[in-house]
Chain A
């Protein structure tokens, strides 16, 4: 390909394809993963001292000073072989205690942290003492958590079960900063810009906001400078020539990005990494997501490659170093949270590919290099998202498929064709919508200008159904939840039931909105975030903190949980109870109240004799569509306190497990307390028995347009689909059809030996596992055990 016409350097792909794993990176990877993790109190102590010093100032200034002090005082170091420096703790993957948001869970769990089943953290004795002596007493009455509890705790717990209100004891996160702007201007440029905004907006509150931003940006510069100095002094004492050289490069890089915007690929990566470290130091939150890194980093990459300043393998090494860094910062959750978000996912979601503003394929050489890094590392972070659209190249799709086949579940696939229009529907301009990226797991957002508040709350539609057929009484506790629209026995027709369900949803939506509003406001009061505000467009123009509505776009996302269980339950109620009358209403509700005890045969019939969501059966799928629609529309009557819209998401990630714990036996045959369908829009496990095309067809009937906050679909595939070129080609076609069907998202789990062993043990959960052999018709769970073993062996072999 002629270089002159190869604007995206796609001619490099064959060379990228051949790049080998890098030993030094692999070694660092092992260290990161196997390193002992500690609870870290250092920043909490700095923040506490700072607050004592700034007592009496506004919360915004206090937060700014606390961050600035942290940037000034936190111990920093540079690990051996590190290429991109910067961390908020000396230890790799330490768990940071963050008092401004809330520490009550640490108080309760500090003793069990080192021993809990999932995501352990060791605790040094001194830290424990300091925690109870210095941190706990000072922060009584000063945290976000307490502020919310005192003022709105009762309202929140009154609706718990149906509604889970989020962001109650930690900062919001879930945002894509304006990385492009940060790289284009540098912290110094942002400071200069601040001056001009300041001169226009002069009232008192705004002055305070500007002062806060100024404090943190200056702090950021100092923080980077400290690394420049440290690297230089380490270079001076280092005797190895190579290491000396590298440390000097680090020092020079840091110095450069203090003085001016980055110019090289290395400087850009280093600058970007500092941005994310500092954002974490300000907020300690899940999901500050980098967005479309293959787009905004490309000019730097392109320039260096063309100038001959950078070899492909050096570029890959730097990228892999960035990938490693994404794994160095973890988010310490309480034990409950750790169980459901195992491996402390922190939501460094990067989005690659997709289209540019002219509708042309945006994938470039860097896109392929990023996929290469994923192929080599397969780490849990970054969370990688590949954007597909009708114009995506075969090459891009095939490379994604190959990486998916390695089994890390990444990249997950999203769909421009459905996402862009759905974002436009909630008031986002075409230009911004086209430039969307993913936040955290599957949340949809524009880049650098949007406080999407994507996890405001989760609304358990299945629990609402339970209350609708049981007189407003919780099946688990026997407690009345404050609203009744009747019980199953009372409904003379299926329509009566629908009416009751609607009333129940309306009742809880109204209550939920009050709580969500309060929490939103509480963040503006307790967690103003001047540094984040400096990298979200329009905050500094308006002179308004991002938590107070400074961003250009202000949305709030609420998740409807869970389409599959609602559709299946409705199908069972309609077919078995109301149409066929195989069982009386009284008997049926009795079975649910007793958690199916003595009704196993009925439960089996419920599972096997009524078609379920995910099998392309229109009348069943329609229930899912109808209730998601109803919920989405019910949100439209409200506006959030930042002046933005509420919109719906259809995802739970792993919360289908705890959400299921809150729901009694459900009409779809589910036992009390057991998990709901996974993901968000996935069929109930084991119920999709018509194969993956039927699943996509069912899911496509949901109006993805109304789920502009994001959806999540999980599918399982055997590894053979990816290893064999012909099969992979069909998988690629499957992806193209996914795009055509306008489904937002799909993620692939490659089935491994372990899964198949599980399938042998729990066939009901894996009924959907198909074995595809020419002319042969079988589901895995229908095979006799020894034949299953044969497949298991074969699969293990393919892995």
Chain B
């Protein structure tokens, strides 16, 4: 079977135990304002541009059959992409000598993904690591995700799934026999705020979480700290109380904010939100957040 993958990162060390490889699967039902991989939200592939690699040769502009590219629009250092016009024909990526343009999100087979993941098997074995499905949200392409998990489990490798749990319960539970660790994202406990900031209510998320926690013990709740959104005392305490009310032995981890996604919003012609602060939290700040847990 096949699915859409937008990246595979080896030596991932913050997405579960040991040394891991993370597979980034496209598609996510949430629309978090702060999403750090916005290119992963839509299921469809999209033309992607790395300004730092571009030598401004203009070859791409010349070769685009539908005039989707312009040089020197608002920002003279950028090739602007009209994503509506672009047909993803791949002409520009072929002529671009520096690979500054690429189509992110490729159709890949389960076998291909598995063979990429197996390349670092020896590292997983030595470090107690394994593979992590992330995205986007692996629940979005749940059949494909499941096929990868099954393929990897054949080799007795540790598997983790990072999900916001917004999907059909039965699809989520299908992962359970093949998943050694669920990294579940909890962003905001207040339902109204959740709706405003992520585009969806969190009722489904909660009920899925409750069901999941009955089926497996291997859950780690992760709260991304977004300044002005999730990183408040109230929210952290609420999440804590809620999680512990479901099961007191579930671990909660706070993820530090990082402002690294700004460039991505520019390429997508999206507004990057203004955060209260534009840097990661210091160790001391992290400690004080952790005190709320």
New contact pairs (15) apart from A778-B260, A784-B51, CB-CB < 8 Å: A605-B97, A608-B97, A609-B97, A691-B10, A733-B129, A734-B19, A734-B123, A734-B127, A737-B126, A774-B222, A776-B260, A782-B263, A787-B262, A790-B279, A790-B280
| A737–B52 touching, CB < 8 Å | no
Question: Does B53 touch A at the CB level, under 8 Å?
Answer: yes
CA gap between A737 and B119 in the complex, in Å: 13
Question: Does A421 touch B at the CB level, under 8 Å?
Answer: no
| B123–A775 touching, CB < 8 Å | no
Which of B24, B50, B120 counts the most A-chain CB atoms under 10 A from its CB?
B120
Which of A602, A692, A775 counts the most B-chain CB atoms under 10 A from its CB?
A775
Sample (11) of A-B pairs whose CB atoms are under 8 Å apart: A608-B97, A693-B11, A694-B119, A697-B120, A737-B19, A770-B11, A775-B14, A784-B262, A787-B263, A790-B279, A790-B280
Given the known interface contacts A601-B57, A736-B127, the answer about A730 and B37 at a Cβ–Cβ threshold of 8 Å is: no
Within 8 A of A (CB), among B54-113: 55, 57, 59, 97-99
Given the known interface contacts A601-B59, A693-B120, A733-B127, the answer about A777 and B52 at a Cβ–Cβ threshold of 8 Å is: no
Question: Does A690 touch B at the CB level, under 8 Å?
Answer: yes
Q: Out of A600, A730, A773, A776, which one reaches B18, CB within 8 Å?
A: A730
> Given the complex, which residues of A lie within 8 Å of B134, measured CB to CB?
775
CA gap between A691 and B129 in the complex, in Å: 16
- The majority secondary structure among interface residues of chain A is helix
Specify the chain B residue showing the minimal Cβ separation from A731: B13
CA gap between A601 and B98 in the complex, in Å: 8
Question: A-side interface residues toward B, CB under 8 Å?
Answer: 600-605, 607-609, 616, 690-694, 697, 727, 730, 733-734, 736-737, 740-741, 763, 770-778, 781-784, 786-787, 790, 794
> Given the complex, which residues of B lie within 8 Å of A772, measured CB to CB?
11-14
> Given the complex, which residues of A lie within 8 Å of B57, measured CB to CB?
601
Question: Does B177 touch A at the CB level, under 8 Å?
Answer: no
Within 8 A of A (CB), among B232-289: 255-256, 258-263, 266, 278-280
| B11–A777 touching, CB < 8 Å | no
B198 nearest CB across to chain A (Å): 16
Question: Does B201 touch A at the CB level, under 8 Å?
Answer: no
Q: Out of A727, A733, A783, which one reaches B123, CB within 8 Å?
A: A733
> Given the complex, which residues of B lie within 8 Å of A763, measured CB to CB?
52-53
Q: Out of B98, B255, B256, which one reaches A604, CB within 8 Å?
A: B98
> Given the complex, which residues of A lie within 8 Å of B22, measured CB to CB?
775
CA gap between A693 and B180 in the complex, in Å: 22
> Given the complex, which residues of B lie within 8 Å of A786, measured CB to CB?
262
Specify the chain A residue showing the minimal Cβ separation from B6: A777
> Given the complex, which residues of B lie within 8 Å of A691, measured CB to CB?
9-11
> Given the complex, which residues of B lie within 8 Å of A608, measured CB to CB?
53, 97-99
B127 nearest CB across to chain A (Å): 3
CA gap between A784 and B278 in the complex, in Å: 14
| A782–B53 touching, CB < 8 Å | yes
> Given the complex, which residues of A lie within 8 Å of B42, measured CB to CB?
none
| A727–B7 touching, CB < 8 Å | no
| A784–B52 touching, CB < 8 Å | yes
> Given the complex, which residues of A lie within 8 Å of B37, measured CB to CB?
775-777
| B122–A737 touching, CB < 8 Å | yes
| A775–B18 touching, CB < 8 Å | no
Question: Does B199 touch A at the CB level, under 8 Å?
Answer: no
Q: Out of A600, A730, A778, A794, which one reaches B13, CB within 8 Å?
A: A730
> Given the complex, which residues of B lie within 8 Å of A727, measured CB to CB?
13
Size of chain B's interface in residues, with CB distance under 8 A?
A: 47
Specify the chain A residue showing the minimal Cβ separation from B13: A730
Specify the chain A residue showing the minimal Cβ separation from B134: A775
Which of A692, A778, A783 counts the most B-chain CB atoms under 10 A from its CB?
A778
CA gap between A670 and B59 in the complex, in Å: 22
> Given the complex, which residues of B lie within 8 Å of A607, measured CB to CB?
98
> Given the complex, which residues of A lie within 8 Å of B261, measured CB to CB?
776
> Given the complex, which residues of B lie within 8 Å of A734, measured CB to CB?
11, 19, 123, 127
| A775–B162 touching, CB < 8 Å | yes
Given the known interface contacts A604-B55, A770-B11, A784-B263, the answer about A776 and B258 at a Cβ–Cβ threshold of 8 Å is: yes
| A733–B126 touching, CB < 8 Å | yes
Which of B51, B57, B98 counts the most A-chain CB atoms under 10 A from its CB?
B98
Specify the chain B residue showing the minimal Cβ separation from A785: B52
CA gap between A740 and B127 in the complex, in Å: 12
| B18–A733 touching, CB < 8 Å | yes
> Given the complex, which residues of B lie within 8 Å of A733, measured CB to CB?
18-19, 123, 126-129
Q: Out of A692, A774, A778, A783, which one reaches B11, CB within 8 Å?
A: A692
Question: Does B2 touch A at the CB level, under 8 Å?
Answer: no
Question: Does B213 touch A at the CB level, under 8 Å?
Answer: no
> Given the complex, which residues of A lie within 8 Å of B171, measured CB to CB?
none
Chain B 185-203: CB-based contact to A (< 8 A → 1; otherwise 0): 0000000000000000000
CA gap between A606 and B263 in the complex, in Å: 27
| A609–B11 touching, CB < 8 Å | no
Q: Out of B15, B99, B127, B280, which one reaches A794, CB within 8 Å?
A: B280
Given the known interface contacts A736-B127, A783-B263, the answer about A775 and B15 at a Cβ–Cβ threshold of 8 Å is: yes
> Given the complex, which residues of B lie within 8 Å of A697, measured CB to CB?
119-120
Question: Does B36 touch A at the CB level, under 8 Å?
Answer: yes
| B127–A774 touching, CB < 8 Å | no
Which of B13, B15, B162, B266 counts the most A-chain CB atoms under 10 A from its CB?
B13
| A741–B122 touching, CB < 8 Å | yes
| B97–A783 touching, CB < 8 Å | no
B219 nearest CB across to chain A (Å): 16
A596 nearest CB across to chain B (Å): 12
B133 nearest CB across to chain A (Å): 11
> Given the complex, which residues of A lie within 8 Å of B260, measured CB to CB?
771, 773, 776, 778, 783, 787, 790
Specify the chain A residue showing the minimal Cβ separation from B18: A733
CA gap between A605 and B122 in the complex, in Å: 33
Specify the chain A residue showing the minimal Cβ separation from B282: A797
> Given the complex, which residues of A lie within 8 Å of B52, measured CB to CB?
763, 781-784
Within 8 A of A (CB), among B113-132: 119-120, 122-123, 126-129
CA gap between A699 and B122 in the complex, in Å: 14
B57 nearest CB across to chain A (Å): 6
> Given the complex, which residues of B lie within 8 Å of A737, measured CB to CB?
19, 122-123, 126-127
> Given the complex, which residues of A lie within 8 Å of B259, measured CB to CB?
787, 790
CA gap between A768 and B273 in the complex, in Å: 29
CA gap between A473 and B52 in the complex, in Å: 38
> Given the complex, which residues of A lie within 8 Å of B266, measured CB to CB?
784
Specify the chain A residue showing the minimal Cβ separation from B59: A601
CA gap between A9 and B129 in the complex, in Å: 34
A123 nearest CB across to chain B (Å): 48
A193 nearest CB across to chain B (Å): 48
CA gap between A741 and B37 in the complex, in Å: 34
CA gap between A770 and B13 in the complex, in Å: 12
> Given the complex, which residues of A lie within 8 Å of B18, measured CB to CB?
730, 733
CA gap between A321 and B256 in the complex, in Å: 44
> Given the complex, which residues of B lie within 8 Å of A692, measured CB to CB?
11
